[in-house]
Amino acid sequence: MSKYDVIVLGSGPGGYVTAIRSSQLGFKTAIIEKENLGGVCLNWGCIPTKALLKSAEVFDYLKHAEDYGLKLEKADKDFSAVIKRSRNVADGMSKGVQFLMKKNKIDVIYGFGKLKTGKKIEVTDKDNKKTTYEADNIIVATGARSRELPNLKQDGKTVIGYREAMSMEKQPKKMIVVGSGAIGVEFAHFYNSMGTDVTIVEFLPNLVPLEDEDVSKQFERSVKKAGIKVMTNSSVESVEKSGDKVKAKVKTKKGEETLEADVVLSAVGIKTNIENIGLEELGIKTEKDKIVVNDFYQTNVKGIYAIGDVVHGPALAHVASAEGIICVEKIKGMNVQPLDYGNIPACTYATPEIASVGMTEKQAKEAGYDIKVGKFPFSASGKAKAAGKSDGFVKVIFDAKYGEWLGCHMIGAGVTDMIAEAVLGRKLETTGHEVLKTVHPHPTMSEAVMEAVADAYDEVIHL
């Protein structure tokens, strides 16, 4: 029986990062993966969707070439080639993880892993052969998959999840997207850009409902302007196939409507992959579909840890990576601090992009803060105007008494690359006055952060 210091179960951005850090710390490390290295993020999530969205962005530029003084006879797309490019990008990234495993001398074990007593994992490979491995420390990083609603069962053809949405052979003429979180609105934007007639159905009053209300309202205006139909305060009650079409009954405040489409994309959240991996047999505690862990990701069973989507916290790739590093450094005995879940950036890569960190204005008020709020629209930004991307704004929230940066919310072109300033500033306990007196380059989109802070302190220049 092979014996390791650390075995990681699952090779997504939580698992493979954990394995690499483990090896760097001198642990003999193995990683178990039932499908492709890189997990959902690299193969079916974060990376290939961004490749699709880049194609959509380029296509949008071509369609609006005249806005930039350029002439183009006709802009068209090859849908299958767009899908193929996305898959090639994903394949390349997965091969990159393979290289990193070899570079860091990590043993890769392919198959389905199941926890056994005595800090062992039984791995069943594609030929149904079972092999048992042992480790002093086992880290569960099995991630999650698309969640199914009882009245919205996925069949992979008429009702689909994110996997099918990014690998469709034929572009649908009409699509219904159920749910307006990041996955839902990113696919809605992509397919709309490609020419599909898209309707978003959202149960809550606002699109991207976890965002600051001002951001949600701006986003809804922008997607409607782009031609996407929006139904909020609505729910899909049932879906039935009608020939080669699908009919969805949608409950709204005004009554029930029937929508017809080629396909329904279910984007109503995720379901953790914690079934049949041995949790019950070992008595590992779970709660609300998540594995219960302490601040350093130790379960109630000694030597068994869990990170990423399977534990409580934001189901984000960068969170899983951070958790894994903290977990394995703690195992090593290093002096590490628990992850600050109040300072995790969230990004949505539709058009316009959305990025946020910290409290919304509503949350800050509910927490009892006396606040200063500043807002700077990209319509007043020279760089945004020059780029033809003036939709959106930067909004900042500060504690009026001490100047603490409570929250930052952005919507506009490239804001997912800008939010790190706020994350770092909050980590370093930067005050509003310090941001205001930090010289930002001109002309850039990022100077909108400084201008928003200036607005909060009644010192705004360009508005």
Residue with token string 């079972």? 130
Instruction: Identify each DSSP E strand in 218-334 by its residue range.
Output: 229-231, 235-242, 245-252, 255-261, 263-266, 270-272, 286-287, 290-291, 304-306
Query: Could you count the other beta carbons within 10 Å of the beta carbon of residue 424?
Result: 12
179 known ligand binder: yes
Sheet containing 229-231: order of strands: 159-160, 263-266, 174-178, 197-201, 229-231
392 known ligand binder: no
184 known ligand binder: yes
113 known ligand binder: yes
108 known ligand binder: no
* Cβ-proximal residues to 15 (8 Å cutoff; 6+ apart), any chain: 8, 9, 31, 33, 39, 139, 141, 143, 307, 308, 320, 324
Residue 310, SS3?
A: helix
Give the separation between CA 7 and CA 27, rounded to whole angstroms.
10
239 known ligand binder: no
Query: How many residues make up the chain in this entry?
Result: 463
451 known ligand binder: no
> Are 236 and 264 contacting, i.e. CB atoms less than 8 angstroms apart?
yes
| Known catalytic membership, residue 312 | no
> Are 189 and 56 contacting, i.e. CB atoms less than 8 angstroms apart?
yes
15 known ligand binder: no
64, 312, 433, 442: the catalytic one is 442
182 known ligand binder: yes
94 known ligand binder: no
181 known ligand binder: yes
Instruction: Could you list the residues known to form a binding site for NAD(+), using ranges.
Output: 179-186, 202, 269
Instruction: Could you list the residues known to form a binding site for FAD, using ranges.
Output: 50, 113, 309
Instruction: Could you list the residues known to form a binding site, using ranges.
Output: 50, 113, 179-186, 202, 269, 309
Instruction: Provide the annotated active-site residues.
Output: 442
